Structure 1
Amino acid sequence: MNTAPRTYAIRVDGHLDDHWSAWLGELDLARDDDGTTVTVSVADQAQLHGVLAGLRDIGAVITELRTTGTPAPICPSVLERPLQTERLTLRPATADDADPTWAFRQLKSVNEWLTGCPADLEGYRELFSKPARLATTVILTLGHDPEAPTIGDFMLRREDAWAQLDVADQARDTQAELGWVLDPAFTGHGYATEAGRELLRYCFEDLGVRRVTANCFLGNDASWRLMERVGMRREVHAVRESLHRSGRWLDTVGYAILEQEWSPA
């Protein structure tokens, strides 16, 4: 008996340009507002493996692979358990965290440096609650009480390092990327630095990665100064590399720290 071919949805981090469609076998590319791209592969396992290999060849980070028409899989959080510092708790995000994080993310002074933020709370809830987004979001609360206020959120994403194909297996899950947003009402107390140092500890001691990266607009000096306070070094200064919503092409900077460069505070 003949059966219909399976259809696979593949989500990758970042927006892929249309010119990669031919590289991937003339597949349609759909770019989502959350900064990811979805492509659909209709074929047998051999073609699916070819598409996956093509994505790896161009350095794309695959965040989801599923058969269409079935529920999206549950994505486990990169943060496997809550962490506590002297003054803070860092825990995996849930859909219920959309409202408290919206309260500061929609502020003009905060959104100035973000990739984007939906114009209304309902749109933000939908974006925030996507499994891939929840899996990489860490909620920062003040104190250790379960009812403690949310004062920020971090992005923690584990990823493959770039590698040549014959050694790609050795590069899987060997690095992580950090990002952060802090409620302006709680800046100036060292909370972001305290949380950042704890997440670096978690990356190196618990996840066992070899390298952690972070990046931002050069104009976001509060962010890159934080990178330096937690021990990261500037590796990249790209001149007028990114288009800001103001219409200006702005410089960006990239920071990193290796496991052997890190030391507990």
Structure 2
Amino acid sequence: MNTAPTTYAIRVDGHLNDHWSAWLGELDLTRDDDGTTTLTVSVADQAQLHGVLAGLRDIGAVLTELRTTGTPAPICPSVLERPLQTERLTLRPATAADADPTWAFRQLESINEWLTGCPANLEGYRELFSKPARLATTVIVTLGHDPEAPTIGDFMLRREDAWAQLDVADQARDTQAELGWVLDPAFTGHGYATEAVRELLRYCFEDLGVRRVTANCFLGNDTSWRLMERVGMRREVHAVRESLHRSGRWLDTVGYAILEQEWSPA
């Protein structure tokens, strides 16, 4: 008896080039507005599905979601397992209700200049912000410890596999994390971003047990890379005219990292 094929939606971090569609077996490929790529594949059995997933791992793609089409998107657990508190801040997992307060500063040109992008209206932003994979990697930063305290920023914390050769890939799973941050410009100049990043580094190394944390930005975003250096990260990459900015200019980007043995509590 022939088994009807099952169609899966596979979401991975980053925008894959079209040529990977043919390499992976002529999969339908959609680049999403949130910086991810969704691939659609119909398979007759699990062996075929595992072959596609192995191919994605071979090209270094990081899987964020796997589901059969026609089913609701799964609830992705937040990488931040519990709220964290510093002397002046609370860091907590994001919810869909955080879309409106974060839109208030993300739509500002001074902020959006350095972001991958921001939808043109609040409705579109709410839809993007509320995607399970987006919520799972978003950390909301509020001023103070009161539940009604104002939101002053949203940070990104993504746990991921390190690159590894296939025969040792299991040992590289979930061994590193990537950080990103957006702070409301009304609250800059007080050290809040530094305080929040230091706490997330502590969480990554002490609670998640990762061995390496990375971050990157445009070279022109000196506020961001100076923060990376302030918390002890070192510049590993300076890519010259590597990224196309919406202004039409090709801009330099820089990448920073810190290892667990290089980190020390503030």
TM-score normalised by length of structure 1: 0.98
Q: CA offset at residue 22 of structure 1?
A: 1.5
Q: Please say if residues 32 and 38 of structure 1, whose CA atoms lie closer than 8 Å, have aligned partners that are also in contact.
A: no
Question: Which residue in the other structure is 2:184 paired with?
Answer: 183
Q: CA offset at residue 25 of structure 1?
A: 0.7
Q: Please say if residues 6 and 43 of structure 2, whose CA atoms lie closer than 8 Å, have aligned partners that are also in contact.
A: yes
Q: Which runs of 5+ in 1 are unaligned?
A: none
Question: Which residue in the other structure is 1:163 paired with?
Answer: 164
Secondary structure at 1:198 match in 2: helix
Q: Please say if residues 31 and 38 of structure 2, whose CA atoms lie closer than 8 Å, have aligned partners that are also in contact.
A: yes
Q: Which runs of 5+ in 2 are unaligned?
A: none
Secondary structure at 1:40 match in 2: strand
Count residues with an aligned counterpart. 265
Q: CA offset at residue 67 of structure 1?
A: 1.2
Q: Please say if residues 14 and 37 of structure 1, whose CA atoms lie closer than 8 Å, have aligned partners that are also in contact.
A: no
Q: Please say if residues 154 and 180 of structure 1, whose CA atoms lie closer than 8 Å, have aligned partners that are also in contact.
A: yes
| More moved, 195-204 vs 20-29 | 20-29
Q: Please say if residues 9 and 69 of structure 2, whose CA atoms lie closer than 8 Å, have aligned partners that are also in contact.
A: yes
Secondary structure at 1:70 match in 2: coil
Distance, in Å, in 2 between the alignment partners of 1:84 and 1:244 is 36
Deviations along 1:215-264, one digit per CA (max 9) or x if unpaired, are: 00000000000000111000000000000000000000000000000000
Distance, in Å, in 2 between the alignment partners of 1:3 and 1:122 is 41
Identity of aligned residues (%): 95
Q: Please say if residues 76 and 136 of structure 2, whose CA atoms lie closer than 8 Å, have aligned partners that are also in contact.
A: yes
Q: Please say if residues 9 and 41 of structure 1, whose CA atoms lie closer than 8 Å, have aligned partners that are also in contact.
A: no
Distance, in Å, in 2 between the alignment partners of 1:79 and 1:253 is 26
Secondary structure at 1:34 match in 2: coil
Q: Please say if residues 7 and 40 of structure 2, whose CA atoms lie closer than 8 Å, have aligned partners that are also in contact.
A: no
Q: Please say if residues 164 and 172 of structure 2, whose CA atoms lie closer than 8 Å, have aligned partners that are also in contact.
A: yes
Secondary structure at 2:168 match in 1: helix
What's the Cα RMSD here?
0.9
Secondary structure at 2:73 match in 1: coil
Q: CA offset at residue 3 of structure 1?
A: 4.5
Distance, in Å, in 1 between the alignment partners of 2:41 and 2:81 is 30
Q: Please say if residues 13 and 37 of structure 1, whose CA atoms lie closer than 8 Å, have aligned partners that are also in contact.
A: no
Q: Please say if residues 238 and 254 of structure 2, whose CA atoms lie closer than 8 Å, have aligned partners that are also in contact.
A: yes
Deviations along 1:96-139, one digit per CA (max 9) or x if unpaired, are: 00000000000000000000000000000000000000000000
Q: Please say if residues 9 and 68 of structure 2, whose CA atoms lie closer than 8 Å, have aligned partners that are also in contact.
A: yes
Q: Please say if residues 16 and 37 of structure 1, whose CA atoms lie closer than 8 Å, have aligned partners that are also in contact.
A: no
Secondary structure at 1:216 match in 2: strand
Secondary structure at 1:236 match in 2: strand
Question: Which residue in the other structure is 2:210 paired with?
Answer: 209
Deviations along 1:64-98, one digit per CA (max 9) or x if unpaired, are: 01111111111000000000000000000000000
TM-score normalised by length of structure 2: 0.98
Q: Please say if residues 90 and 141 of structure 1, whose CA atoms lie closer than 8 Å, have aligned partners that are also in contact.
A: yes
Secondary structure at 1:194 match in 2: helix
Q: Please say if residues 9 and 38 of structure 2, whose CA atoms lie closer than 8 Å, have aligned partners that are also in contact.
A: no
| More moved, 39-48 vs 64-73 | 39-48
Question: Which residue in the other structure is 1:5 paired with?
Answer: 5
Secondary structure at 1:264 match in 2: coil
Q: CA offset at residue 2 of structure 1?
A: 5.1
Distance, in Å, in 2 between the alignment partners of 1:166 and 1:84 is 40
Question: Which residue in the other structure is 1:40 paired with?
Answer: 41
